Amino acid sequence: MNNCIGIINLDENESKIGELAKNRPLAAVPIAGRYRIIDFILSNMTNAGIESLGILSKNKSRSLVDHLTNGRPWDLHRKRDGLRVFNFGERDPYYDDITNLYENLEFLTKSRREYVIMSPSYMICNIDLKEALEYHKKNDNDITVIYKKVKDADSNFIDCDVLNFDECGFIKSIGKNLGREEESDISLEMYILRTDLLIEIIYECIRRGSHRKFKSYLKEFLDEIKVGGFEFKGYLSCVNSLKSYYKANMDLLEEKVYKELFIDNNPIYTKSRDEGPTHYTKNSEVTNSIIANGSYIEGKVENSIIGRRVYVGPEAVIKNCIIMQETVIGENAHLDKIITDKAAVIRDDEKIVGLEYCPMVLSKPNVI
């Protein structure tokens, strides 16, 4: 896939993710203990052989840039091509991907690549993008949208784009999942198209001043361009709300899901911290949990995700929780259905219980 560039578009709605995206972009929110949300699409692209990759970033990007470093974890630390991060222009106080692309048009015009794959960060999956690109070429589409047929659209993937196909298999309209139907064709918001076509679209949107976002342009001109769909059949979750973030983490505790996402031949990479293994005392008890390196566990952990350098005190009980890095949980503390942000401190004997459909978030810095 050396003839393809990747663009990760962080024009993502963060309003329903709450406190977790207050000081960081959604893409930089921790997931699965040691990873960040953006790690999945970054790894999918590099596993497909993409060597030139741009990230359309918004504000609050410090933690994201710190995580990405120079792109080394994804083999993108290169003198030529590699990883580049683009921030939106100061002249426009409102973020939109078309303006960001226009202001960084040289990334496309000088890329020497024939194709572009655009994707958000919040679709959690392990996908073979080589196969998707070959499908796009074989079917001679102007644009190919990757999608998944789901049977739980009434409870999951709320607010995601829904694709509607005509009798020939082309996309005739794009709507929004309101949770009223069980079965839907959910868009992964991953688009494959020629580089020169994307450049044309950018110029047209800027010239007319009619579209601020690539998605809105696509919806209007479905009748004028050939837009097909590539079906993805693997595991998918969309982290666009606090509820979906919690569910995506809890899904990882299922062996089938974990193996599919972290399979050996398509690994998910992340920034290495070079920490020692987690220490478990003789009185600790851990069941069905994911615990990252560098932690110290003295209490009980059940059905939970534990990040790096977390301390769980003696007789503490952690159930159905997402505990982010550097959190300290005191002796005899009890947490159930709680999400703690980085470096939270839970004092001794505290008992905090959230709701499954609305887990409680302890934001940073927070001492309870």
pLDDT of residue 14: 85
The maximal CA–CA distance of the chain, rounded, in angstroms, is: 68
- CATH 2.160.10.10, the chain: domain bounds: 279-362
| Fold (CATH) for 4-261 | Spore Coat Polysaccharide Biosynthesis Protein SpsA; Chain A (3.90.550)
User: Measuring CA to CA, which residue among 361, 323, 366 is closest to residue 347?
Assistant: 366
Q: Which of 15-19, 143-147, 288-292 has the lowest mean pLDDT?
A: 15-19
Q: Calculate helix-pair angle for 38-47, 129-139, nearest 10 degrees.
A: 60
pLDDT of residue 211: 84
- What CATH architecture does domain 279-362 belong to? 3 Solenoid (2.160)
pLDDT of residue 88: 63
CB 197 within 8 A of CB 142: yes
- CATH 3.90.550.10, the chain: domain bounds: 4-261
The more confident residue out of 168 and 301 is: 301
pLDDT in tens, 126-184: 999 999 999 999 999 999 999 999 999 999 999 999 999 999 999 999 999 999 999 99
pLDDT of residue 96: 80
pLDDT of residue 109: 93
Quick one: average pLDDT of 47-59? 91
Q: Are strands 290-291 and 305-306 parallel, antiparallel or unpaired?
A: parallel
